[in-house]
Amino acid sequence: MKTLVITGGSRGIGLATAREFAAAGWSVVSVARRACAVAGAHHVAADLSDPGWAERHGEELRAAVAGSDTIALVHNAGLLTRDSVASVTQATLREVLQVNLLACVQLDQLLLPRMGPGSAIVYVGSTLGEKAVAGSCAYVVSKHALVGLARATAQDLAGRRIHSVCVCPGFTDTGMLRDHVGGEPAVLAAIAAGSTFGRLVEPEEIARVILFCATNPSVNGAVIHANLGQIER
């Protein structure tokens, strides 16, 4: 049995990824506050911003993957805040790091004992994992760290035949992005104009990249940008 375990599987890239894997014959386990709208998906109702979530939901997660020959662990959940190096509070930085980075380590440690050869860990990073824009300090810091975690994972699991990759989406048409810019059409249009295709990335496009990476160990240790080709200015 092949099982996808994905965080943030209730919307956006997470939901699109859950649908893509389900269509390919995978069982789906979603770790999120809200349920995943994929038939048959197991919902683990966890709030990843709470540092104690793993202790409360660990047994349920391990039971959900029992009997799985192959596990694809996709760290998709993310928190995007509006802040700068001059304004970000320690509380905000801690919360963003908990969701975007520390929860990944917690989930890795929960499931690695259950992950056999052929399994994969996919970290969903961001274009902002290797560059920066103003006004998203905590998010940029967390996604830079996630790239390092993905690379460290590939090295630390050498010999186990479990591969790891960091997929870095560009600006994707999700609720998180729209909420971040206040739903302003002009702002979204300006962002879209920054790609060589003149549009935002669709969540389904990222989902297909994630499925490819989860099933192809040749990409082990890679950082793959899926951004429609950003125009550098």
Catalytic residues: 139
First to last CA, the chain: 47
What is the spatial distance between Cα 9 and Cα 72, in angstroms, rounded to a whole number?
13
Alpha helices in the chain (DSSP H): 12-23, 53-64, 90-97, 103-111, 137-156, 175-180, 185-192, 203-214
Please give the single-letter amino acid code of residue 162.
I
Contact 203, 178 (CB under 8 A): no
Q: Which amino acid is at 69?
A: D
Q: For residue 126, what are the CA distances in angstroms to 43, 109, 231? A: 25, 23, 16
Tokens (6 digits) for 147: 């790239």
Task: Report residue 166 as tokens.
Answer: 């960091």
By C-alpha distance, which of 132, 138, 125, 136 is closest to 98?
A: 138
**Structural contact between residues 31 and 18, judged by C-beta atoms closer than 8 angstroms:** no
